[in-house]
Amino acid sequence: MTPAKESRQRAIQRQIDRVQQRETALQEVSSRFTWARLIAFIGGGGLTVLVLVLAGIWAWLAATVVWLVGFAALTRAHGRVNRTIARYAAWRAIKAAHIARMNLDWEHIPSARAILPRDDRPVERDLDLVGEHSLYRLLDTAASRDGSQRLRDWLSTDTPDPARIARRQTMVRELAPLALFRDKLRLDAGFASGGMPWRWEGKALLGWLGALEPPRPLARLAVVLTVLALIDAALFALNMVGVLPPVWGLTFVVYAAIYFWSVRGLGDPFGKAYALSDPLTDLRGAFAVVEGYHPVKGSALADLCAPFHEAETRPSAQLRRLTRVLSAASVRHNPLLWMIVSTIMPWDVYVVELLNRRQAALNALLPRWLDVWFELEALGGLANFAYLNPDATFPALNDDPGAIPAFEARALGHPLIPDATRVCNDFTLAAPGDLALITGSNMAGKSTFLRTLGLNLCLTYAGGSVVAASLHTVPFRLYTCIRITDSVTDGISYFYAEVKCLRGLLDALDADHPYPVFYLIDEIFRGTNNRERLTGSRSLIGALGGKRGVGVISTHDLELVTLSETLPTLKNYHFTEHIEDGRMTFDYTLRPGPSPSTNALTIMRMEGLPVPAE
């Protein structure tokens, strides 16, 4: 671990220690509250009985009221302390998860559910993008299902969009140092969910809003009833001063008949207002964090968060208006007050009309709020990775697909290998058509290097930082042929599945597309015999060398290295091993040229298999 990363980890650990101290102190306070409540309940109850015996019923009633009010206040204060303890515990868990991510401590990295690779995106399986020990799990800090899914889609995209990537990278750069903002957003969203993973789902929230009863047009009815109420009030006033006889009773009957007939079809305004506000009230904490953050004016984050900062569209303003309507609707629950108010004005019609306006506003605004929130959560995962890995760098993406070099990396490392054992390598593919053939011993690092290239490209196209001293690339369509699986149900053998995958690669290379292909092939044609594998490999590599793409192919077939003599775009590289004191060791360093050795017989011999001496 580098000094910068060690320093950051120590800082996070100090935060955990401080929170733990506060949590411990508050737990002692909570314990005292528990005893105080017990004493207050038993002692206060006993005192009220004593007052009843000594002073009579009225003194007992007064003492009971004081006792119950005091006990309720004590219970409320105890609840506040316990809620604070719960928030501290959640905050500490977030910080502890950061340290687990820094150390690749998979046992303590949160995982809400098992994530399986999608069949239509082979890179997820081939590159360990998803799964128990995957890049997606390492990066994902979202409380919402949609924010998590958005991050996954960015990582596994097969066709990059340079403009979107540049915008996301800009926002990730802005978010990376804002650890407090990211953690508070995660804390409040997770705390509001009541510990229920994946509670916040865009489809469910929008479905809840869409499932509410559609607004009915009530403006005309409100005008008619208001006019009748005003006429009735005027006639009543004139009758009181003796100008007119009591004809106001006739207009009141008309008003009351229309009003109470209409109210029957309006339902319960309070129930509707509550149904409209309940989920938004739960999300208020997360939304308040976004509202409270004020990005630099004109920045990419400021543009993204605009719906949370405009006076008319911010969630807090809409919730305040909805709360006022909810208070007005609560009049319905006081029958006497409701009857008095309704004789003067069509109260329920006004309330429902205001609810209709709030519902229409939420129909327009909620999708925007959720989109911003989900985007911030996905960006936050990438920003958190950059923050926890201060030596990671942001790659340079040249939107010109014909630029040279097409791919150039310095000190490129695998993001899922711990710092202590990670070995970084330089690597360049200069121009479309270039192909690297990697040979080497078993376990020397060929497959890992292919995944190193692929994972860092995925991070680049998601808009995140990469494990490298520097990385320059053009937009590629990423194509992998690494973990081929057969299918018993479809009757597809391993070899046939591999052939279909490589056929798909040729089709992708021949497709009319503005971006070249970056392909990774591990152990080419491993599913067939030596003679046919060698013949097929030579033919395929020869065909790939003339296509519009760059690629890396690993193989055990040392005979293939001679292809560089007739194929100028092919370069040989290798990994090797060392035998020290009877033990095999690897340095995982990529070297130019073909592999000078193999180790299969050595491994067999070391494990005691009957292999003749060389």
Does pLDDT of 194 surpass 60? Answer: no
Over 70: is that where the pLDDT of 478 sits? Answer: yes
Q: Are 405 and 550 in contact (CB under 8 A)?
A: no
- What mean pLDDT value characterizes the chain? 82
Give pLDDT tens digits for 254-264: 777 776 777 66
pLDDT at 601 over 60: no
Q: Which two tokens stand for residue 545?
A: 């060398």
Q: Which pLDDT score is estimated for 436?
A: 92
pTM of the shown model: 0.84
Q: What is the mean pLDDT of residues 257-279?
A: 65
Matching residue, tokens 């509670």: 199
pLDDT value of residue 451: 95
**According to DSSP H, which parts of 305-445 are helical?**
306-309, 315-329, 335-344, 347-388
Pick the residue with more confidence: 196 or 493?
493
CA–CA dist 78, 72 (Å, integer): 10
- The residue length of the chain stands at 614
Which residue(s) pair with 478 in the sheet?
518
Weakest mean pLDDT among 302-306, 329-333, 593-597:
329-333
Least confident window among 99-113, 410-424, 594-608: 594-608
CA distances from 135 to 114, 157, 171, 214 (A): 14, 14, 20, 44
Cβ atoms within 10 A of the Cβ of 80, count? 10
* Statement: residue 600 has pLDDT above 60: no
Residue 203 has pLDDT above 90, yes or no: no
Q: How far apart are CA 404 and CA 332, in angstroms?
A: 73
